[in-house]
Homo-oligomer: A and B are copies of this chain.
Amino acid sequence: MNPDDEERAARLTLSFLAEPGEPALGQLLRWCGAGEVVAAVMSGDEPRMALPPAAAGLPGLARAFKRWRARLGRIPPAAALAAWERDGIRLLCPGDPEWPTQLAVLADAQPVALWLRGSADLRYACLRSVSVVGARAATGYGEHVATEIAAALAERGWAVISGGAYGIDSAAHCGALGAEGVTVAVLASGLGYGYPKGHLELFSAIAGQGVLVSEWPPDRAPTRAGFLVRNRVIAALSCGTVVVEAALRSGALSTARHARDLCRPLMAVPGPVTSGQSEGCHEIIREWGAVLVTGARDVIENVSPAGELEARRIGPVYPRDNLDPVTAAVLDAIPSRDGSGPASIAVAAGVDLNTVMQCLGELAAAGFAERCAQGWRLRDG
């Protein structure tokens, strides 16, 4: 069902009043519509009177309504809403065709609504998507790997999801954009606020080819706690999360924790053990069971439904791999320069003379050995 206009307007209002992820609001919305919640906030000192009995009995509501009432002044005038709309910012509500239904996994912490800006269809993009996250203070190695993985995912039709920070987030978006793929930036501040300032150009590019997403209303500044709250959305939107670089205290590990807790595939890219920016990745591989991935191939194998397995990596195959052990032992016993007779080759190889004669013939035919004045020697190359 599409949300009706009243429901949509009420969710817009609630996005200005409640903090994203507040369980009190999520619980309320199980029992009543957003319009009833807004009416209750507006109703004055006894908001519970305006609610259906099942909702009115929830614990913690009195404090929640107090907080929300204190923020009524934050609801912007219609002109501000119209200006944001002109800037291409749109509101997405549960029930809209573009709403990513996989967010239902967040239960009471599900967003009340999402603010979007960009050309991509969020729901469609997320159906085949991977979150690529990591440290702000990334190294050149981490940025290189994030770019490569994101580009390779994009080339194979997977959307990339990340935050809006410098470092790995930005490298992942650039990789996907460079490969003409779809990329989704989930921000922890309002889409009109423009944080960080240095990414305004990147955000324009993402809006052109992908989509920017925020739970916060367009004018809201970021807060420290907001980044952690936002991370649950990054984890829930995608089919799996890859941590490219993360120190032990990196915020990227909070996204990883959400992915793990939501039972979504969790992956990490290893790096030099001498780099503090890889410590978090190594920690979650060892302690949380994150899968070690070295590239997009591994990532896709981990997020794909069973059956889309990739070919195994086997390293180079050499002609001598096909020799049986006895022939290989004879080959090992043939000198490289001066040549030896079959009898001494037989002793060195620990093989009887008849067998050596037969092996030497095969090795000559296969181009490994040749006759010379002193007997047999290896052929060059």
Contacts and interface: CB of A to CB of B under 8 A. Distances in A.
A249 B316 contact: yes
A273 interface: yes
Contact of A19 (B71, B223, B350): B350
Quickly give the copy total for this chain: 2
A56 interface: no
Nearest to A321: B249
Contact of A315 (B247, B285, B325, B332): B247
Interface string A302-341: 0000000000011110000000010011001100000000
A172 to B, nearest CB: 15
A208 interface: no
B274 A67 contact: no
A283 B313 contact: yes
Contacts of A352: 63, 66-67, 70
Interface in A235-291: 247-249, 269-274, 278-280, 282-283, 285-286, 291
Contacts of A144: 274
B332 A274 contact: no
B350 A248 contact: no
Contacts of A198: none
A177 interface: no
Given A225-B328, A332-B225, A279 B294 contact: yes
A314 B248 CA distance: 6
A254 to B, nearest CB: 13
B283 A285 contact: no
Interface string A58-89: 00000100110011011000000000000000
A71 B274 CA distance: 51
A292 interface: yes
Interface in A194-228: 223-225
B347 A272 contact: no
A359 interface: no
21 contacts: A66-B352, A67-B350, A70-B346, A70-B347, A70-B350, A73-B347, A145-B273, A224-B328, A225-B332, A248-B313, A249-B316, A270-B270, A270-B272, A270-B292, A271-B271, A271-B272, A279-B294, A285-B292, A286-B291, A286-B298, A292-B292
